[in-house]
Amino acid sequence: MAALDELREIVQLCRRADAWRSDTINLIASENVLSPVARRLLDSDFHHRYAEGHPGKRYYEGTRFIDEIEEKTRVLVGSVFKADRVDVRLPSGTLANEAAFSALVPQGATAIAHGLDGGGHISHARFGALGKRAARILELPRLPDGYRIDAPKAKDMIRAERPQIVVLGRSLFLFPEPVREIKEACIDVKATLLYDASHVLGLVAGGLFQDPLGEGADLFTASTHKTYFGPQRGMIAARGKDEEFWKPIDRAVFPGVTSNHHLFSLPSLHAASLEMREFGASYAEAIVRNARALGAALHKRGLHVDAADLGYTASHQIAVDVSAQGGGREVARRLAAGGIICNMNVLPGREGQTPLRPAGIRIGVQEMTRFGMGESEMGRIADLVHASAVDHKNVEEECRRLRSEFREIRYGYRLDQVELVPA
């Protein structure tokens, strides 16, 4: 194929992806959409540039404008999380973990974290970033509901095993972690308490779910694009820590895991953080209300939603056991064919499931909430999920119709507010 024809094909694929996504109901719990302003800001000369180190102390010349933006973003993010130590140079959440673990976890250490069965992220696992440093990774004990940490047992475990680090926060993340209680045991054995806030960062920014730094976590790591409004980046933050604690983290970010840090998306992160400051509280409340409403609506239609007796969730996610409908893999594919996008997921404590043949699906409502959907739309989504997952109906047309009513972002800035034109 001639180069230009191939290029036209790629352009078409991008257009089709844009059009298709604007017709679908996206329920992937780790994704979100940018506001028009945050999206437009991704396109600038910063795409072409380098800036290593810190503003004002760069190796390269030509960085004065990004220096100003980076410093303002660091300060803004600090104010959103009441954090006085902030690094916004991470290109992703996994790299934030990579940097934090390399600074805080000695080679051969013992770590305690959530296993994959408990909803832990792969970067907290033996074969991920944590496993590169820790020789032993023990799993946090959970209550019979499978989701909440058994805090007394976890404290006993920490005191007995004397880990160098305890990692809280997860990818299947329904309820707050008992940070205060875990911290007591961490103090006794001088373990660092790290909280991976990736999934719930926007809820924390909006003053909901929990305040990991206020409750005692030594630091949090996060990606910036799940419940937070940002482009795909990462961050690390701490409160009240001295230079001795922070310096190794700073060195681990640069030159440890980054050289240049993808400058082009930093202005977008700044816009997203302003949006969080302005809309975060009402957005977070709407998310949790919607997630609970969707849990209840699916439960009412006969689907097995986990944690029903706990109100289904306190976050943006719900977990649905679809073993009776053919398992997570089959159901996620069936839903996607009808325009409802979510992912298959291992659920706690299910016998016989494997990561590739899991019992459940994980659903997140943060993106549809950002488009302004509310509790009544959660009922309509539950009808579509039921029709597709249980009755094997093709729901593509109804899905498109519902989505067409919610195309504008409700929580975020418009281009005309800052006199920007589309790229």
Judged by the rule CB under 6 A, the positions of this chain that interact with ligand DSN are: 30, 121, 171
Smallest gap from residue 228 Cβ to ligand DSN (A): 13
Pick between residue 85 and residue 121 the one whose CB is nearest to ligand DSN.
Answer: 121
Are 360 and 328 within 8 A, CB to CB? yes
> Nearer to ligand DSN by C-beta: 158 or 204?
204
- Compute the least distance from the CB of residue 199 to ligand DSN, in Å: 6
Residue placing its CB nearer to ligand DSN in the complex, 30 or 102? 30
Read off φ and ψ for residue 364, nearest 5 degrees: -125, 140
Q: How far is the CB of 121 from ligand DSN (least distance, A)?
A: 6
Q: What residues contact 60, with CB distance under 8 A and at least 6 apart?
A: 50, 51, 52
At which residue do the structure tokens 């082009």 appear?
264
Q: How far apart are CA 155 and CA 209, in angstroms?
A: 22
Q: Do residues 314 and 209 touch, judged by C-beta distance below 8 A?
A: yes
- Give the span between the Cα atoms of 382 and 342, in whole angstroms: 13
Query: What is the nearest approach in angstroms of ligand DSN to the Cβ of residue 123?
Result: 8
The backbone torsions φ and ψ at residue 6, rounded to the nearest 5 degrees and listed phi first, read -65, -40
**Single-letter code of the amino acid located at 129:** A
Cβ-based nearer residue to ligand DSN, 39 or 121: 121
Q: Which two tokens stand for residue 202?
A: 């926007």
The CB-of-116 to ligand DSN minimum distance in angstroms stands at 11
Question: Using omega within 30 degrees of 0 as the cis cutoff, is the peptide bond preceding 152 cis?
Answer: no
Cβ proximity to ligand DSN, 196 vs 275, nearer residue: 196
Q: With respect to ligand DSN, which residue has the nearer C-beta, 100 or 158? A: 100
| Position closest to ligand DSN via CB | 30
On the 0-12 / 13-18 / 19+ scale of CB atoms within 10 A, 224 is buried
